[in-house]
Amino acid sequence: MEKKIIIAIDGHSSCGKSTMAKQLAKQIGYVYVDTGAMYRAVTLYAMRNGMFPDEGIREGELEKAVKNGDIQISFKFNPNTGRPDTYLNNEKVEDEIRQMAVSNRVSRIAALPFVRALLTEQQQAMGKEKGIVMDGRDIGTAVFPQAELKIFVTASAKVRAQRRYDELMNKAKSEEEKAKLNFEEILKNVEERDYLDSHRESSPLRQAEDAVVLDNSEMTIEEQNVWLMGKFQEKLNK
């Protein structure tokens, strides 16, 4: 039988992890899972249910919802975009979870141990058959410490903020939406998330000892893809 492996792609926010993971998965015929989308979907659920009063979070209520199974997250492949869309309780929320209101709150949700426990379990189930490319923050350290190929991606905060700014500009549906985008605010969000993601107690973002580092600040997507395919072939031939 054809050898299949698990590929874990971790790293800072907005360094193009999902673009590279998605492209790699397509090229090698693997399943792609964006775990950030899962944390974003839980955040959206909490927002919609009034669980963010003032600056706090109604942790008890959220934990109850998690335990009751009230938050079901799934993915469905979208042939138009060539990538999976995220669903929250059977409603497509792919666009909504990418908005700044969610980005500004998701790190706090991702720091909650009961949220991490739930999503980690679901992610491990998705990788049971191998043949998967999963991107996130703790895939190589907590979800699949046994992954055959681990990549730790990074780029400077300014480069990442610029990429996110360009992405949001491209997605903006009106001039008004475009005018609202502020580079400094996005940079601040990137820096704050770096800090929160790396300093939380529960599975913080860190490089696995056996991960290979990819700094893509100065790389094109094409160069990056060639680099990734090289690493993948190396592991397959082992």
Q: Can you give the binding site for ligand DC, defined by CB under 6 A?
A: 13, 35-36, 39-40, 106-107, 110, 136-139, 193, 197
Which residue, 5 or 143, has its beta carbon nearer to ligand DC? 143
Per-residue CA distances from 146 to 21, 210, 211 (Å):
18, 10, 11
31 vs 230, which CB is nearer to ligand DC?
31
**What is the smallest separation between the CB atom of 75 and ligand DC, expressed in angstroms?**
14
Q: Decide: 66 and 50 in contact? Cβ < 8 Å.
A: no
Cβ–Cβ < 8 Å for 150, 210: yes
Closest CB to ligand DC among residues 94, 197: 197
Least CB distance to ligand DC at residue 146 (A)? 16
SS3 148: coil
Percent composition of the chain: helix, strand, coil (DSSP 3-state, to 5): 50, 15, 30
- For residue 147, the number of C-alpha atoms closer than 13 Å in the C-beta half-sphere is 31
Closer CB to ligand DC, residue 40 or residue 83? 40
Residues 6+ apart with CB under 8 A from 9: 17, 20, 21, 133, 134, 135, 136, 139, 151, 153
Q: Write down the least CB distance from residue 23 to ligand DC, Å.
A: 16
Least Cβ distance, residue 69 to ligand DC (angstroms): 21
Q: How far apart are CA 155 and CA 103, in angstroms?
A: 19
Nearer to ligand DC, 5 or 43 (CB): 43
Of residues 22 and 40, the one with the C-beta less far from ligand DC: 40
Residue 136: CB minimum distance to ligand DC, A: 2
**Would you tell me how many other CB atoms lie within 10 Å of the CB of residue 27?**
13
- 16 or 175: whose CB is closer to ligand DC? 16
Count of beta carbons in the 10 Å neighbourhood of residue 229: 14
How far is CA 113 from its chain centroid? 17
- Find the shortest distance in angstroms from Cβ 147 to ligand DC: 13
Residue 43 CB, shortest distance to ligand DC, in Å, is: 8
